[in-house]
Chain A
Amino acid sequence: MCGIAALQIRDVGLRASLGELMHGMLCGIVDRGPDSAGLAIYNDPTLTPAGTSTVTVLNAELTPDALAAALRDALPPAVGVTVTVTGFGETTLINAQIGTGALEDAITSILPGVQIAGRGEHAAVRKGTGHPLDLAELYDLRSATGSQGLSHTRMATESAVTAAGSHPFTVADDLCLVHNGSFSNHATIRRQLRAEGVTCDSENDSEVAARFIAWCLAAGDTLTTALEKLGSVFDGFYTLVVTTATSMAIVRDPIACKPAIIAETDAWVAMASEYRALAHLPGIESARIFEPAPGVVYTWTLDSTKELVTL
């Protein structure tokens, strides 16, 4: 069992409340996964300042100050490049005014083998082990603002309780995946992806799904098409939420063992494992509330378009 809660806000006036609303949603899914948790927040000007890249590393062996100093030495001496490094327990968030790839390269030159758990220009990923509400305090979730976010509470089944095994999985720029369920053929698909040159950095089944989607997107698929392909390749139980810089998609396996409920208003669309995570949202009384049908990919974009595709 795991918990998922995701929120996309279309009403620009409500985006200052993203963290507050997501905190309430997280409270509603704690019981489903008390061993670890993670968050992705999109377009928070403090976490992901405009014009910078943001990379998340796990269990960095340097203090934030030492890592920042090392990065300033390592980065090309471009005029005006500032580096910000902030520690959040097992997660360290690094911002710099250079491309994500260059920033990742600089980080791995300083910390060889370090696990990179987040990357992009819009998404800030933080995750770790411990009680989800303690982690929410550590990450100061209630102060977050932005356009969309997703959260996950984990009850581990397929791999160890570690920060690396926590969700979301962010294996390409601004692409985040959270999963409730378990895949039964992930080892086979991991081997196939490795043969294609894809690197996995945990033994987690959900990471393989994230790698698969990233691989499809890199080959030119849309998010919806990538999830359709996932449905034909992956075997197991899943409710997935996948976000990109501009969109949020939800899909359940055709047997629909794992729960999901969606609430939609003109101002926002929210998804959670259980209704009680949505009960506090503004305007929930008049929201359109429904369970996503089995085997259907639902995709919403920040410009308010919506797409439904049956697997």
Chain B
Amino acid sequence: MTLTQAPVHIETVDLAVSTVRELNQALHATDDGTSWVVDTPAGQHNIAVGIDRDLDLVVNGHVGYYFAGMHQKGRVTVHGSAGVGLAENIMSGTVHVTGDASQAAAATGQGGLVIIDGNTGARCGISMKGVDIVVGGDIGHASAFMAQAGRLVVCGDAGEGLGDSIYEARIYVKGTVASLGADCVEKPLRPEHLAELAELLTLAGRTDAPTDFRRYGSARTLYHFAAVNAAAY
């Protein structure tokens, strides 16, 4: 018996011809299992926001602000760079950018995986609430500010004030950290951390050795009001 697999149909949308709204509405209306290619994004904003279908989407070129915001399902890849607010408030699914991302990448993300092969600007993972972020290069200042849950993996260097006012979330940095923010401290890299780091690096298609990273997280000294500070208020 021979099994013949049906050829995969790929829907192609050229944003030099179609509008972003037409694309987004089509993505919202489509079926699970579909494949999409988007050409000529030309840095437009709000491309591929709110996808809640289990689809594959490839974008060829640079995208603007809030790309794949509120992402819910499916795998999205940008062959290029992304503007401010990449995958903001991502819930689940995967968003992968082969170039750089601007500031506030994966901000407030609640779940899913955001992979950036290049660098990010400031405030990467700000107020992250469960998203996993893997950055191949460096991240800017004030990253993981008020992070609450999730994992942030940085294969390059981190800018000033990493993890300021962090609640929870685990941060792994391979390179240097310009400075740690308030209540963010280095913590031991135990076997369970090496294991989750290895898993995240593999998911991101990276070959970095987990043992080359350092782990940072909350010292938990800001959780409770300290009576000694009463005079400050």
Residues of A within 8 A of B (CB): 28, 255-256, 259, 261, 274-280, 289-291, 294
The interface residues of chain A lying within 8 Å CB-to-CB of B42 are 276, 279-280
B43–A291 touching, CB < 8 Å:
no
B62–A275 touching, CB < 8 Å:
yes
The interface residues of chain A lying within 8 Å CB-to-CB of B45 are 276
Expressed in whole angstroms, the minimum distance between the Cβ of B101 and any Cβ of chain A is 10
A259–B44 touching, CB < 8 Å:
no
Select B122's contact among A261, A289, A294, beta carbons within 8 Å. Answer: A294
Residue of A nearest to B82 (CB): A275
How far apart are the CA atoms of A276 and B83 in the complex, in Å?
A: 10
The interface residues of chain B lying within 8 Å CB-to-CB of A259 are 83-84, 102-103
Interface residues of B in 58-73 (CB under 8 A from A): 62, 64-65
B103–A275 touching, CB < 8 Å:
no
5 closest A-B pairs by beta carbon, nearest first, are A276-B43, A275-B43, A279-B42, A279-B43, A275-B62
How far apart are the CA atoms of A268 and B102 in the complex, in Å?
A: 22
B84–A276 touching, CB < 8 Å:
no
User: Interface majority SS on A: helix, strand, loop or mixed?
Assistant: loop
The interface residues of chain A lying within 8 Å CB-to-CB of B44 are 276
A256–B121 touching, CB < 8 Å:
yes
Residues of B within 8 A of A (CB): 42-45, 62, 64-65, 81, 83-84, 100, 102-103, 121-122, 140-141
A274–B62 touching, CB < 8 Å:
no
Expressed in whole angstroms, the minimum distance between the Cβ of A32 and any Cβ of chain B is 11
A275–B122 touching, CB < 8 Å:
no
How far apart are the CA atoms of A230 and B103 in the complex, in Å?
A: 24
Select A28's contact among B43, B62, B102, beta carbons within 8 Å. Answer: B43
A291–B64 touching, CB < 8 Å:
no
How far apart are the CA atoms of A256 and B159 in the complex, in Å?
A: 13
The interface residues of chain A lying within 8 Å CB-to-CB of B83 are 259, 274-275
A-B contact pairs, 11 of them (CB 8 A): A259-B84, A259-B102, A261-B102, A275-B43, A275-B64, A276-B64, A279-B42, A279-B43, A291-B100, A294-B122, A294-B141
B122–A256 touching, CB < 8 Å:
yes
Interface centre among A275, A276, A290 (most CB of B within 10 A): A275
Residue of A nearest to B84 (CB): A259
How far apart are the CA atoms of A290 and B62 in the complex, in Å?
A: 12
Given A259-B83, A276-B43, output 5 extra A-B contacts at Cβ < 8 Å: A256-B103, A259-B102, A275-B64, A291-B121, A294-B122
A279–B141 touching, CB < 8 Å:
no
How far apart are the CA atoms of A294 and B42 in the complex, in Å?
A: 25
The interface residues of chain B lying within 8 Å CB-to-CB of A255 are 122, 141
Interface centre among A28, A256, A291 (most CB of B within 10 A): A291
The interface residues of chain A lying within 8 Å CB-to-CB of B64 are 274-276
Expressed in whole angstroms, the minimum distance between the Cβ of A231 and any Cβ of chain B is 16
B43–A274 touching, CB < 8 Å:
yes
Residue of B nearest to A28 (CB): B43
The interface residues of chain B lying within 8 Å CB-to-CB of A294 are 122, 140-141
The interface residues of chain B lying within 8 Å CB-to-CB of A28 are 43
How far apart are the CA atoms of A277 and B122 in the complex, in Å?
A: 21
How far apart are the CA atoms of A274 and B140 in the complex, in Å?
A: 18
The interface residues of chain B lying within 8 Å CB-to-CB of A290 are 100
Expressed in whole angstroms, the minimum distance between the Cβ of A3 and any Cβ of chain B is 13
The interface residues of chain B lying within 8 Å CB-to-CB of A261 are 102
How far apart are the CA atoms of A279 and B121 in the complex, in Å?
A: 20
